[in-house]
Amino acid sequence: MVVRGAAAPTPGSKSLAQPQIDETAHVHSFSNLIGDVKVGANVLIAPGTSIRADEGSPFYIGAGSKIQDGVVIHGLEQGRVVGDDQKHYSVWVGENTCLTHMVLIHGPAYVGNNCFIGFRSTVFNARIGDGCIVMMHALIQDVAVPPGKFVPSGAVITSQQQADRLPDVQDNDRRFAAYMVGLNDAMRAGYHNADQISRIMPIRQQLERSFHGDPAAESSARLSDPSSPSSSTSSSMQNTRLAPEIVDYVRQLLSQGLSVGVEYADKRRFQTSSWHSCGSIQSNRDSDVLNALEQCVAEHSGEYVRVFGIDPRAKRRVSEVIVQRPDGSGMRGATASKAAPTSYSSSSYGSSSYSAPSSQPSYGGSYSGSSQLSPEVIEKVHQFINQGFKIGTEHADARRFQTSSWQSCSPIQTNRPAEAIAALESCLAEHTGEYVRLFGIDPKAKRRISEMIVQRPGDKANGASAPSNGYTPAPQSSSYSHSNGSYGAASATGSGRLNADVVNQVRQLLAQGYRVAAEHADARRFQTSSWKSCAPIQSTRDSEVIAALESCLAENSGEYVRLVGVDTKSKRRVAEVIVQRP
């Protein structure tokens, strides 16, 4: 029996072409295929994979290839490679190629026949010839790897000279790859067992229900095994009153091993973020969880209802989404976008804008329009609290700002986002016309981990204009833009001279014992966060460091340049500030 399956399509993907999947292919029901994806004969796609042709397309996966657990295949809207059929593709994966666990293939990319890509390796804007073996944690970008080459573990191949010097594949390398491929062949055979079939749903039936709501297909699935999780899942998908985004959100939480909770609040309690629990949901079956969520919504009509994920190990929340509001909205996905100001368009949720169940901050419902703070500031508060940090605020007038003599606002003792944001707004209101900055405090290490200026003397009250008046966030693609980056400085004027805010930031970093470095990137590399280092800055004298920064600006005029603070003891970055834009 052919085994095929797929997760529900992401919101906004209904207008995309549907995947073309060969009858002999095996696609697990916990995988996600979207858009113009052609899957060849005898392809194996394991659980947890995400193959999304919703930006760059089309994709091609050749016959006999294996796509293991957690693989992500995506593509940029621009850029194509030429496949073996001489047609243009965003991503081409050849025949009998194995993409192992957690591999990322981001188009434009070409992977030839009989290749092996090792665990957690990344291929972007690159071409890999036939018969290549790429080991673990490798990065291949902006190059063409000749056929039959071996890429060692941890290698970073970003120049053609590096690619041309790679060694040839040896027999022991082929034996290792063959061993891993053999394990997947055994996995494929296991999918034919009767006890496995009840866990997997034919992909075309599920896609038809997802896109068109075909009751006949649903009835057929229930008759085949009325007690199977697939059957109950199908039923809940067809009959639920919840928005498809919310249904998909709940399933994503459960698929990641998280528990699900539901809370409600009337208008008064909503303003104070005093939510009541709808009762504990013990089941991890999506149909049971969705039924409990619908029951809470029905019992508390005219009130706010929100659903959230719970990490049972860390015993903390990882995400919150409002699914109902007093005016009746929220059941069609409208509130999800309000609950999460940032749209994670690069996640597995396609164009949905609700908060994903990950390490990203959750945006509880009380900031959906009542706060005047910018989304970046609210996001930063959530990051601090979700990571277990305390929050501090300081203010300084123009004179104290020049000497970095900040004064503390009232201490913020709470770990509730609503109360922390209220305290921050109170500090802003009390010190209108002054600089105000927000920072995180690691209570264990007893040190600051990031600083962010949220108000400047010319800004409106409550920091509403902070992002446009000197706050320069690091790009979303930066690996530090949501973790430990410090955003407190404005950009350079474009003349190669640093402005006063940047100079002040440099002096603060040096005064705290940090080193200063600089990086640059053109527009293309900026989009992929592929920064290049400027000349190393060895000095700790502020005048010499500033001169080195201005030299980097002058040498890379017309590019992005960012300032980096480095803690030499812990060997990590403590700040990233863009000081020049094209």
Condensed to tens digits (0 to 9), the pLDDT of residues 184-193 reads: 555 555 544 4
pLDDT surpasses 60 at 213: no
Q: Is residue 101 annotated as involved in ligand binding?
A: yes
What pLDDT, on a 0 to 100 scale, did the predictor assign at position 314?
Answer: 73
Does the residue 433 lie in any domain?
yes
pLDDT surpasses 60 at 341: no
What pLDDT, on a 0 to 100 scale, did the predictor assign at position 525?
Answer: 77
pTM of the predicted structure, to 2 decimals: 0.37
DSSP H or E stretch at residue 299: helix 286-299
Share of the chain above pLDDT 90, in %: 23
**What is the sign, positive or negative, of the torsion defined by CA atoms of 187, 191, 195, 199?**
positive
What pLDDT, on a 0 to 100 scale, did the predictor assign at position 61?
Answer: 96
Amino acid of residue 179: Y
pLDDT tens readout for residues 221-242: 443 444 443 333 333 333 456 7
What pLDDT, on a 0 to 100 scale, did the predictor assign at position 185?
Answer: 57
d(CA 344, CA 355): 7
Share of the chain above pLDDT 70, in %: 72
Last residue within a domain, chosen from 171, 197, 223: 197
What pLDDT, on a 0 to 100 scale, did the predictor assign at position 256?
Answer: 76
pLDDT surpasses 60 at 387: yes
1-15, 114-128, 166-180, range with the lowest pLDDT: 1-15
Same domain, 60 and 163: yes
Q: How many helices (H) and strands (E) does the chain have?
A: 16, 33
Which structure tokens are listed for 575? Answer: 């700040």
What's the number of CA atoms in the CB half-sphere (13 Å) around residue 173? 21
What's the pLDDT band for 102 if we cut at 50, 70, 90?
very high
State residue 262 phi and psi, 5-degree precision.
Answer: -135, 140
> Which CATH number covers residue 104?
2.160.10.10
Same domain, 324 and 421: no
Q: Tell which wins on pLDDT, 504 or 96.
A: 96
Q: Is residue 74 annotated as involved in ligand binding?
A: yes
Q: What angle do CA 199, 205, 208 make, to 5 degrees?
A: 135
What's the number of CA atoms in the CB half-sphere (13 Å) around residue 89? 27
What pLDDT, on a 0 to 100 scale, did the predictor assign at position 486?
Answer: 36
Same domain, 362 and 380: no
Q: Which of 120-124, 245-249, 578-582 has the highest mean pLDDT?
A: 120-124
Does the residue 139 lie in any domain?
yes
Pick the catalytic residue: 23, 55, 394, 425?
55
Same domain, 421 and 537: no
**425 in catalytic set:** no
**Buried/exposed 41-66: b ≥16 CB within 10 Å, e otherwise:** ebbbbbbbbbbbbbbbbbbbbbbbbb
What pLDDT, on a 0 to 100 scale, did the predictor assign at position 127?
Answer: 96
What's the pLDDT band for 257 if we cut at 50, 70, 90?
confident
pLDDT tens readout for residues 281-326: 888 888 888 888 888 988 888 888 888 888 887 777 777 788 888 8
Measured CA to CA in angstroms, residue 105 lies from 67, 198, 310, 372 at distances of 11, 31, 30, 40
pLDDT surpasses 80 at 368: no
What pLDDT, on a 0 to 100 scale, did the predictor assign at position 184?
Answer: 53
Does the residue 359 lie in any domain?
yes
Last residue within a domain, chosen from 453, 471, 489: 471
Same domain, 347 and 302: yes
What pLDDT, on a 0 to 100 scale, did the predictor assign at position 187?
Answer: 52
> What residues have CB less than 8 Å from 314, skipping those under 6 apart?
none
Does the residue 39 lie in any domain?
yes
> Which CATH number covers residue 309?
3.30.190.10
What pLDDT, on a 0 to 100 scale, did the predictor assign at position 202?
Answer: 45
Does the residue 208 lie in any domain?
no
Quickly count: other Cβ atoms within 10 Å of residue 14's Cβ: 12
Q: Which whole number is the average pLDDT over 156-178? A: 88
* Domain encompassing residue 569: 473-582
β-pairing, 133-134 vs 150-151, is parallel
State residue 270 phi and psi, 5-degree precision.
Answer: -65, -40
Q: Tell which wins on pLDDT, 24 or 504.
A: 24
Last residue within a domain, chosen from 417, 437, 471: 471
pLDDT surpasses 90 at 467: no
Same domain, 446 and 567: no
Does the residue 202 lie in any domain?
no
Residue 305 CA from chain centroid, whole number: 25
Tally of structural domains, the chain: 4
Same domain, 284 and 425: no
Q: Is residue 106 annotated as involved in ligand binding?
A: yes
Q: Over the chain, what is the mean pLDDT? A: 74
The string of DSSP codes covering 400-437 is: HHHTT--EE-S-B----HHHHHHHHHHHHHHTTTSEEE
What pLDDT, on a 0 to 100 scale, did the predictor assign at position 406?
Answer: 84
d(CA 579, CA 563): 7
Does the residue 212 lie in any domain?
no
26-30, 350-354, 357-361, range with the lowest pLDDT: 350-354
d(CA 47, CA 497): 53
Same domain, 312 and 251: yes
pLDDT surpasses 70 at 501: yes
pLDDT surpasses 50 at 83: yes
Does the residue 12 lie in any domain?
no
Which structure tokens are listed for 217? Answer: 């297909």
What pLDDT, on a 0 to 100 scale, did the predictor assign at position 577?
Answer: 82
Same domain, 459 and 515: no
d(CA 539, CA 308): 49
> What residues have CB less than 8 Å from 270, skipping those under 6 apart?
304, 365, 366
Closest by Cα among 265, 210, 262, 266 to 236: 210
> What residues have CB less than 8 Å from 72, skipping those under 6 apart?
49, 50, 51, 102, 103, 104, 105, 106, 348
Same domain, 358 and 393: no
Quickly count: other Cβ atoms within 10 Å of residue 147's Cβ: 15
What's the pLDDT band for 452 if we cut at 50, 70, 90?
confident
Judge if the upstream peptide bond of residue 108 is cis by omega within 30 degrees of 0.
yes
Same domain, 344 and 389: no
What's the pLDDT band for 280 if we cut at 50, 70, 90?
confident
Same domain, 105 and 149: yes
Q: CB burial class (10 A; 0-12, 13-18, 19+) of residue 22?
A: middle
What pLDDT, on a 0 to 100 scale, did the predictor assign at position 371?
Answer: 54
